[in-house]
């Protein structure tokens, strides 16, 4: 079987890579693209550790074939921080102690950003719903939800006219 040539955009940059036809997007991210922030926890889409966005929609990269990335936009945890520093979500996760071992954190942050991109003023219930696909064994979720809501407030304040 011949390898596939994939052209895509990852974290705003044009990328090309070769992959086997059955390779997952997670395989491509962690392998030829060298982006190891997304983690493989379950390999079946149940834990959310590999969450990325594909054309702005959350996906478990362990369930998406790398070939499906052809011509599409992928955003990973590595694309979250800007040139001016950490994203407000990352800042609030640190401030609220919303991470412990850190294994789930990249997927949780990507899911939280997808939520705030979709709804900049979520309720606690909405935040918990959007994060439900991300399993964490360490934090108990309360600090994560508080950090997401605080980041939402920060982002709204940044966007409001002075």
CB distance 52 to 108 below 8 Å: no
pLDDT of residue 17: 97
pTM of the shown model: 0.94
pLDDT in tens, 76-90: 999 999 888 999 999
What the chain holds in terms of domains, given with CATH numbers, is 4-79 (3.10.20.30), 88-159 (1.10.150.120)
Question: Mean pLDDT in runs of 10 for the chain (162 residues)?
Answer: 94 97 98 97 96 97 98 97 92 94 95 97 97 90 96 92 67
Please report, to the nearest 10 degrees, the dihedral formed by the alpha carbons of residues 115, 118, 122, 124 taken in order. Answer: -30
3-state secondary structure 89-127: HHHHHHHHCCCCCCCCHHHHHHHHHHHHHHCCCCCHHHH
pLDDT in tens, 16-45: 999 999 999 999 999 999 999 999 999 999
pLDDT of residue 162: 63
* Residue 8 phi, psi dihedral angles, 5° rounding: -150, 180
CA distance linking residue 90 with residue 75, whole number of Å = 15
């Amino acid at each position: 079987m011949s390898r596939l040539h994939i052209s895509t955009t990852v974290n705003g940059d044009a990328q090309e890579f070769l992959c086997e036809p059955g390779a997952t997007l997670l395989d491509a991210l962690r392998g030829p693209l060298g982006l190891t922030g997304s983690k493989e926890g379950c390999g079946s889409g149940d834990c959310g550790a590999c969450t990325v966005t594909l054309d702005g929609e959350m996906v478990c990269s362990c369930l998406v074939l790398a070939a499906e990335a052809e011509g599409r936009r992928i955003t990973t945890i590595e694309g979250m921080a800007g040139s001016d520093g950490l994203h407000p979500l990352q800042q609030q996760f640190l401030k609220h102690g919303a991470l412990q071992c850190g294994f789930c954190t990249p997927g949780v942050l990507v899911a939280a950003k997808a939520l705030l991109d979709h709804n900049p003023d979520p309720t606690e219930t909405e935040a918990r719903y959007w994060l439900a696909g991300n399993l964490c064994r360490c934090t108990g979720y309360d600090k994560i939800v508080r950090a997401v809501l605080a980041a939402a407030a920060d982002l709204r304040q940044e966007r409001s006219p002075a």
